[in-house]
Amino acid sequence: MTQNRQWVITANPQGLVKESDFEWRQTPVPSPGENQVLVRNIYLSLDPANRVWMNGAETYMPALHLNQVMWGGTLGVVEESRHSGFQPGDLVQGRGGWQDYALSDGSDLSKLPAQRQVPLTAFFGLFGHIGLTAYFGLLDIGKPKPGDTLVVSAAAGAVGSLTGQIGKIKDCRVVGLAGSEEKCRWITEELGFDAAINYKTESVRDALQHHCPKGIDIYFDNVGGRILEIALGLINVHARIPVCGAISQYNATAPVPGPANLSVLITKRARMEGFVVVDYLHRSREAIPDLSKWYAEGRLRYRVDVVKGLENTPSAINKLFDGSNQGKLIVQISGEP
Amino acid sequence: MTQNRQWVITANPQGLVKESDFEWRQTPVPSPGENQVLVRNIYLSLDPANRVWMNGAETYMPALHLNQVMWGGTLGVVEESRHSGFQPGDLVQGRGGWQDYALSDGSDLSKLPAQRQVPLTAFFGLFGHIGLTAYFGLLDIGKPKPGDTLVVSAAAGAVGSLTGQIGKIKDCRVVGLAGSEEKCRWITEELGFDAAINYKTESVRDALQHHCPKGIDIYFDNVGGRILEIALGLINVHARIPVCGAISQYNATAPVPGPANLSVLITKRARMEGFVVVDYLHRSREAIPDLSKWYAEGRLRYRVDVVKGLENTPSAINKLFDGSNQGKLIVQISGEP
């Protein structure tokens, strides 16, 4: 390939992402300068946070300006290197964006082990930012104790499914909310959640009351909105609410009111705490051995939903918001070596 | 006096408290049984939380049922004792409620020092639940660091005024919100706040932006509602929001939406944490020496707003909600010994 195909963001989406919010460009594949590497992107991670970046405001990331290649986490292979730390053929995780090839000075790259027991996609589905989000969000912010009741929203999602399983490993009662019968079966029958609630067909309040007879000690919030309000109504004294995402609001075109019962935080002496995984990347060595061990023991499972073709990326990301993805959403840009 | 005058709650108020939500009863002054004491109430504390109790739902307190004497914190003097721990004449702090006399088994009473350097009302205005709320809410939940910007709402109130002063003692930049020019002058000129904002006449957003050029590290929330939403919009990374009260909502007759920007907790990795002072009463020995020392050094000031007459209690409590109180609101029920 001599052309580098790119999705360039040209408009801040209103509501769901549209292909017309991006421009499909083809530019020559660049050559690495001194101390640079050229990476061929193999897999692109699609995450709910991408939608937040597209609004163009500063978040935990600087503002994403229009007319640049859309950001995204990638797994790739080094094609050319003028950097002493990388050799052609090295597999790397980085932030290569929505394109075939990316130049890097190496500062955003981490090398993947040459010998590995897991598929390459596991570095998105189990390790990497997804695993660290679930691990530190639950353990550092949620502080589970044996016997705690843990409720996880978007529980069949990449982060939610790992969070619930780690909750089981930590001897919590785990109740997950998901948007289809298939997802509910998967998290209970395959992943070992104690109960699942189909938030599209059941009364979430009634079902949570039923499945959480001792109240909620930890609500791991991936969605915000209505479900957050219902969960707040059922929290126990000293409950913890790690705030991981607010996916229900990411496509809102007008402000969405917050929970009307927020002051229950006072009467329940409860804590809501937001976090982003970038703050924990430097502590990945604490998490990876646990995640690897639990995976090897069969106590941690994941699944990936791989959409083929960079050209399909703008439509693929909406699978996160209509709930049609089954597992960690990934775009395959090119073949594995 | 041979009659015990009492305010008995007979209806859950809708909106502001009305005298008709209570019944004025006169019953004979009771005699203490074995291991009981009879306390004559001198001062009654009126606090925003009282309004929450009146809704009759379980909070951090059990549900307040109708047809009982309204609860309230009191300072009083032991009139008769059949309890080995108390003598007639002992000054005590307790939960004597909205009445002239209260019986107690002593478990809710703490004796005040016989020799004291401060007026009796200081045990409401400076020590007791008010001082402990400010002390632990700011220091334990807010975790101020030198140079932090601390914003306090209801800053001329009993808790808010102490919170801001403790913030100054901890070398924070302190900005207070209050509802009159007089209150704004008091907290800046007398109490040493760096800036005050009159939330009734100024644009809170513009004024906060102006007075918090480095953003907000701690927002000590006494009010909830609109001001919480504005403050959230200005928080820094790793901000802390001790949630002490939501006074703007206590008289609401319909659900009040929460802040539409609550998910800023994620991008700012911020923490909102509710607390109630009853959880800290056992740690009062940590706080009282500091509060006493700072008071003696002139670094901590307070003022009390004393309404005379138990009969005026139902109307007096609304001063907390229309902002007409100046300092800690207290009802004087009987004379000091």
CB contact at 8 A, B32 and B319: no
Residue A3, SS3 per DSSP: strand
Neighbouring-strand partners of residue A77 = A40, A91
What are residue B273's DSSP bridge partners? A271, B242
Backbone angles phi, psi at B16, to 5 degrees: -65, 155
Mutate to test the interface with B, among A53, A241, A262, A277 (most CBs of B within 10 A): A262
Chain B residues in contact with A260 (beta carbon < 8 A): 255-258
Task: Note which residues in 227-286 of chain B have CB less than 8 A from chain A.
Answer: 229, 237, 243-246, 249, 255-276, 279
- Tell me the per-residue pLDDT of A129-152, one tens digit each, with 9 for 90 and over: 999 999 999 999 999 999 999 999
Q: Which amino acid is at A126?
A: L
pLDDT value at B59 more than 90: no
- Tell which residue, A249, A47, A245, A72, has the closest CA to residue A158: A47
pLDDT tens, B110-166? 999 888 888 999 999 898 899 999 999 999 999 999 999 999 999 999 999 999 999
Q: Which of A258, A266, A270 sits opposite B260 (nearest CB)?
A: A258
Are A258 and B255 inside 8 Å of each other by CB?
no
| Cβ contact, residue pair B269, A279, below 8 Å | yes
CA-to-CA distance for A152 and A143, rounded, in angstroms?
A: 14
Return mean pLDDT, chain B: 95
Chain-chain contact of A273 with B276 (C-beta, under 8 angstroms): no
Q: What is the pLDDT of residue B205?
A: 98
Size of interface A-B (CB pairs under 8 A): 108
For residue B59, give the nearest of A261, A267, A279 by CB distance.
A267
Question: Are B257 and A261 a contacting pair at CB < 8 A?
Answer: no
Cβ contacts (< 8 Å) between B237 and chain A: which residues?
A: 60
- β-bridge mates for residue B160, sequence order: none
CA distance B219 to B150: 6
Closest to A44 in 3D by CA, of A97, A107, A115, A111: A97
User: B262 and A246: CB-CB below 8 Å?
Assistant: yes
Chain A contact probe: residue of B262, B264, B273, B277 with most A CBs at under 10 A: B262
Shortest CB distance from A272 goes to which of B229, B261, B265?
B265
Min Cα distance B247 → chain A (Å) is: 10
Q: Which residues of chain A have pLDDT under 70?
A: 1
CA A126/CA A122 separation, integer angstroms: 5
3-state secondary structure A208-244: HHHHCCCCEEEEEECCCHHHHHHHHCCEEEEEEEEEC
Q: How far apart are CA B99 and CA B334, in angstroms?
A: 10
DSSP state of B258: B
Q: Measured at the alpha carbon of residue B299, what is the angle toward residues B295 and B300, in degrees to the nearest 5?
A: 55
Cβ contacts of residue A127 below 8 Å, gap of 6+? A118, A288, A291, A292
Closest to A150 in 3D by CA, of A234, A229, A206, A47: A234
- The two structure tokens encoding residue A61: 């990331």
Asked if A96 and A74 count as a contact pair (C-beta separation under 8 A), the reply is yes
Give Rg (Cα) of chain A. Answer: 20
B259/A261 CB distance under 8 A: no
Contact call for B267 and A224, based on CB within 8 A = no
| Cβ atoms B184, B178 nearer than 8 A | yes
The pLDDT score that the predictor gives to residue A237 is 97
Residues in chain A with CB shorter than 8 Å from the CB of B255 are: 260-261
State whether the Cα torsion B151-B156-B160-B164 is positive or negative. positive
Q: Which DSSP category does A160 fall into? A: H
CA-based nearest residue in chain A for residue B259: A258
- Rounded to whole angstroms, what are the CA distances from B179 to A230, B154, B198? 33, 8, 5
Nearest to A269 among B246, B256, B279 (CB): B279
**Separation of alpha carbons B113 and B134, rounded Å:** 22
Chain A environment of B271 (Cβ under 8 Å): 271-274
- Its ipTM equals 0.92
Minimal Cβ distance to A256: which of B260, B268, B275: B260
A33-62 residues touching B, CB cutoff 8 A = 52, 59-60
Task: Enter the DSSP assignment of B83.
Answer: S
**CA dihedral for B71, B77, B79, B80, sign (positive or negative):** positive
**Cα atoms in the Cβ-side hemisphere of radius 13 Å centred on B192:** 17
Distance from C-alpha of B321 to C-alpha of B316, rounded to nearest angstrom: 10
Distance from CA of B146 to the nearest CA of A (A): 23
Surface of A (116-155) touching B: CB under 8 A: none
**Residue given tokens 């009467």 in the structure block:** A267
What are the helix (H) ranges across chain B?
48-53, 122-125, 128-136, 158-169, 181-185, 204-211, 225-232, 264-267, 284-296, 313-316, 319-322
Q: Give me A145's structure tokens.
A: 């104790």
Q: Tokens 């660290």 map to which residue?
A: A132
Q: Angle A284-296/A158-169 helices, nearest 10 degrees?
A: 80
Alpha-carbon span B228 to B203, nearest angstrom: 14
> Are residues A263 and B60, on separate chains, in Cβ contact within 8 Å?
no
Contact A269 B276 (CB under 8 A): yes
Q: Bridge partners of B241? A: B272
Q: What is the pLDDT of residues B181-213, one digit of tens each?
A: 999 999 999 999 999 999 999 999 999 999 999
Choose the mutation target among B58, B266, B280 for the interface with A, i.e. most A CBs under 10 Å: B266
The pLDDT, as a whole number, for residue A254 is 87
**pLDDT given at position A116:** 83
Alpha carbon of A8: minimum distance to chain B alpha carbons (Å)? 24
Instruction: Work out the angle between the directed axes of helices A284-296 and A128-136 (0-180°, nearest 10).
Output: 100
CA distance to partner chain A, nearest, from residue B264 (Å): 8
pLDDT for B1 beyond 70: no
Contacts of B265 in chain A (CB under 8 A): 243, 272-274
Query: Among partner residues A243, A255, A266, which is closest to B243 by beta-carbon distance?
Result: A266
Per CB-CB distance under 8 Å, the chain B contacts of A59 are: 267
In the three-class reduction of DSSP (H, G, I as helix; E, B as strand; rest coil), residue A77 is classed as: strand
Q: Are A263 and B255 an interchain contact pair (Cβ–Cβ within 8 Å)?
A: no
Determine the residue of chain A that is closest to B237 in CA distance.
A60
Non-local CB neighbours of B70 within 8 Å, separated by 6+ positions: B7, B8, B9, B22, B50, B54, B64, B97, B98, B313
Could you report the per-residue pLDDT of A163-198, keeping only the tens digit for each? Answer: 999 999 999 999 999 999 999 999 999 999 999 999
Chain B residues with CB under 8 Å of A258 CB are 229, 257-262
Q: Supply A274's token pair.
A: 């937001």
Give every CB contact of residue B97 below 8 A, 6+ residues apart in sequence. B6, B41, B44, B69, B70, B71, B72, B74
pLDDT at residue B226 in the model: 95
Name the β-bridge partners of B240.
Answer: B218, B271
